Amino acid sequence: MKQTPWLALSIDRKVNTPVFEQICAALRERMIAGDLAQGSKLPPTRVFATELGVSRSTIVTAYEQLVAEGYLSSQQGSGYTVCALGEVELSKAPATPKTPSEAEPPSRPRPFASSQPDMRLFPHRQWAKCVARVCRSDPQALLAGGSDLGNWDLRCAISGHLSEWRGIKAAPHQIFVTAGSTDALEICLRALADKDDVIGLETPGYPPMRQFAKAHGLQVHDLPIDDHGAQVPPRSARLKLAVLTPSHQYPLGGAMTPNRRQDFLQWARKTDAWIIEDDYDSEFRYAGRPIPAMAGFDQLQRTIYVGSFSKVFSNTLRLGYVVVPENLIDRFRQTLHLFGIKASAMPQQALADFMTSGEFYRHIRRVRRTYGERRRFLLDSLKRDFAEFGHVFDHQAGMQVIFHLKPGFSDTDIAQRAQAVGVDILPLSGFAAGPSDDNGLMLGFCGFSIDEMQPSLVALQGCFDDGSV
């Protein structure tokens, strides 16, 4: 092996390619060329970061991407080691002329777009192995995955996941696979509410849910958020159901207190109402154990549980699920058949294998570690460099944070200024049902490396110049 090949690696900060991708490409080329032989140790992340003049999290992201692609292996306390690449490497195909439209790189979300997983961390090699295994052993499963309510193996895998991670004891036949969490929420409303029925929605809350409800003739009763979570509606409101985010309120963050959860469950029992628990990102908790789901407390008596793979795994597979009480199974099955089943069957068997093999949980741990480092950087930067403009609460969970503005600043004005300079943030006031005192900025951090966030934070600071109302 040639000596210290990483010392020749250089970073070009003038190009649009993220720094961690430049590092990945350079190391990948050296491994293919044989400069880094099988079994070679890569330099420790802190040492490498110092040599290149980048953050340690950038090196960690680059190494973990190469682990996901199969070029490196890692073990706790042993660092990163080069894997065998095989005896034959494919030669590069000659470049072919591209039209201007073909030459454009795929669009990337701009910092600080919210709820965006970093698909650069997707475990492509491991996922490809699961897909290939299904193709060899049961190719029919790619197009006809069994029940039209979802692949049975996937429903079994979800059942085990919910039991271990969320404290929910649900049999596979209580789980229906959907085309993401939004599809699952819509199915719930179709199955449980009729035109002119009243439903409860959190405010501030998830705007598409409110839009769907109004488009289907449902009446919305607002559930304001206080320090304990959504407020329990009075019995006189005659709600048919309430949609809640108890484990991590969207968009404010924070968890509903145990007493408030019990109050909601008691309300549902007394009024014969249903609670739809939207548990959209519970895997991303950065301190302590995950907060148990409300459906686990309730043992699925009055609670319908909605989950998704879009945030934790892939936002392109468009797969989610809904878990229903035994006495609602027939009603949900009829609703699915009446309005059509949208979930694609093709990835379901492969996802089941991915979960049962343990790769799904290794992926969660890997991205949660990376997202945690990015979250800490963003929080520290906001507290240090933006203290004169507002404050942020650390809820130790989620994929975005809310920066609450001080009086005198308008979140809509700041958001517009930020958009103009290439920073994608959303005003908190836009999540309220109507006129509101909510005044803040939503900043997502999962989809962006620290090197990508740094210049965007500088640009965001400039948006506060003359930004007071």
Paired tokens of 81 = 């080691």
Number of CB atoms found within 10 A of residue 327's CB: 9
Could you identify the residue written with the tokens 């499963």? 141
Residues 344 and 436 in one domain: no
| 263 inside domain | yes
Residues 315 and 433 in one domain: no
| CATH code for the domain in which residue 216 is found | 3.40.640.10
In terms of pLDDT, which residue wins out, 146 or 89?
A: 146
How would you classify the pairing of strands 229-230 and 219-226? Answer: antiparallel
| 104 inside domain | no
| CATH code for the domain in which residue 18 is found | 1.10.10.10
Number of CB atoms found within 10 A of residue 207's CB: 14
Of 63, 87, 111, which residue sits at a domain end? 87
Residues 448 and 329 in one domain: no
Residues 180 and 297 in one domain: yes
Whether residue 303 contacts residue 273, with contact meaning beta carbons closer than 8 Å, is answered with no
pLDDT band at 442 (very low <50, low <70, confident <90, very high): very high
Q: What is the pLDDT of residues 299-326, one digit of tens each?
A: 899 999 999 998 888 878 889 999 999 9
Residues 326 and 398 in one domain: no
| 436 inside domain | yes
Could you identify the residue written with the tokens 């292996």? 73
**How confident is the model at residue 3, as a pLDDT?**
40
Q: Is the pLDDT of residue 467 over 60?
A: no
Of 359, 394, 427, which residue sits at a domain end? 359
Residues 316 and 346 in one domain: yes
Q: What is the pLDDT of residues 163-215, one digit of tens each?
A: 988 999 999 999 999 998 999 999 999 999 999 999 999 999 999 999 999 99
Mean pLDDT on 385-398: 94
Residues 153 and 243 in one domain: yes
Of 35, 61, 87, which residue sits at a domain end? 87
| 399 inside domain | yes
What is the three-class DSSP state of 233? coil
Residues 130 and 260 in one domain: yes
Cis check for the bond before 234: say yes or no (omega within 30 of 0).
Answer: no
Q: Name the pTM for this structure.
A: 0.77
| 377 inside domain | yes
Paired tokens of 371 = 């997202």
Residues 22 and 165 in one domain: no
Residues 320 and 380 in one domain: no
What range does the domain containing 171 cover? 126-359
Which ranges constitute the DSSP H helices of 14-55?
A: 19-33, 45-52
- Dist. CA 203–CA 209, nearest whole Å: 11
| 219 inside domain | yes
Residues 188 and 74 in one domain: no
What is the three-class DSSP state of 433? coil
pLDDT band at 105 (very low <50, low <70, confident <90, very high): low
Residues 354 and 374 in one domain: no
| CATH code for the domain in which residue 390 is found | 3.90.1150.10
Name the strands in the sheet holding 303-308, side by side, starting at the edge strand that comes first in the sequence: 175-178, 320-323, 303-308, 274-278, 239-244, 198-203, 219-226, 229-230
Considering the chain, what is the average pLDDT of its residues?
87
Closest CA to 335 of 149, 154, 145: 149
Total domains, the chain: 3
In terms of pLDDT, which residue wins out, 58 or 458?
A: 458
Closest CA to 441 of 425, 430, 452: 425
**How confident is the model at residue 175, as a pLDDT?**
97
